[in-house]
Amino acid sequence: MNPIEKSIVSLDWMTLVLFSSLVLLAIGKYWYSSKFLNFIILPFNDKYVLLNSKKGPLLNWFHILMSIFQLLNLSLFIFLALRAFDVMPQGDPVFTFLIVLGALALFEFAKLLLQSFTGYVFNNQEFILGIIFSKTSYLNYSSIVIALANILLIYVLINSKAMIYVAISFIILINGIGTIKLLKNHQKAMFPYFVYFILYLCALEIAPLVLIGSYLKV
């Protein structure tokens, strides 16, 4: 009976995390319907980014709601990937999830501070904030795919490595589209800082993916 009880408890807290994130998505859709409609077609149309990137982009409530939605689902996805690849640390699964959530939140906050500091150094805060908003918007959009993957990994395709690889492929694709559009829309403004932008991509965008991939292969 003990394994059954543990399984039920595990599903209960994961269901709560998923439900909480979906509530945030529903609130965003209900309170900010026009922004949500533009957001939902983001990979195909940059209207959402263009309309909101110059209006205190990082501090509007819709963006904050979507960022929390992303943080919850990405943390849960990482937890499920650790479980599927049998590299879960020993101990309480809920505690492990909270560690992942805290580490991810700290990483994203540190990255935001570093990017903002870069804007201050180059005396171009507005431009840098626009770039940050564009990249986080695409990451937030990819969290919709992550949420769907989480649902499948918890209730249908339990511990499916193939599902994890498919989800990661879509995450990379969506954020790759965002990066390409960002370079296309701001190529003239970015040209003087192109080397720094490449270093940023390698250090803060590509390196974490390589580290996670290497860890899962161990």
pLDDT in tens, 121-171: 555 666 677 778 888 889 999 999 999 999 999 999 888 999 999 999 999
pLDDT band at 119 (very low <50, low <70, confident <90, very high): low
pLDDT in tens, 11-57: 789 999 999 999 999 999 989 888 899 899 888 888 888 777 666 55
Q: What pLDDT sits at residue 4?
A: 45
Give the CB-side neighbour count of residue 89, counting CA atoms within 13 A: 12
- Residue range of the domain that includes 98: 2-217
Rounded to whole angstroms, how far apart are CA atoms 127 and 130?
Answer: 5
Task: Give the tokens for residue 209.
Answer: 């993916």
**pLDDT > 70 fraction of the chain, expressed in percent and rounded:** 71
Task: Give the tokens for residue 70.
Answer: 């992303």
Residue 201, pLDDT > 60, answer no
Interacting residues of 45 by C-beta distance below 8 A, sequence separation 6+: 38
pTM recorded for the entire structure: 0.80
pLDDT band at 7 (very low <50, low <70, confident <90, very high): very low
User: 203-212 contacts: CB < 8 A, separation 24 or more?
Assistant: 204/111, 204/114, 205/175, 205/179, 208/107, 209/172, 212/78
Task: Give the range with max mean pLDDT: 121-125, 171-175, 185-189, 200-204.
Answer: 171-175
Q: What pLDDT sits at residue 5?
A: 43
Count the domains in the chain. 1
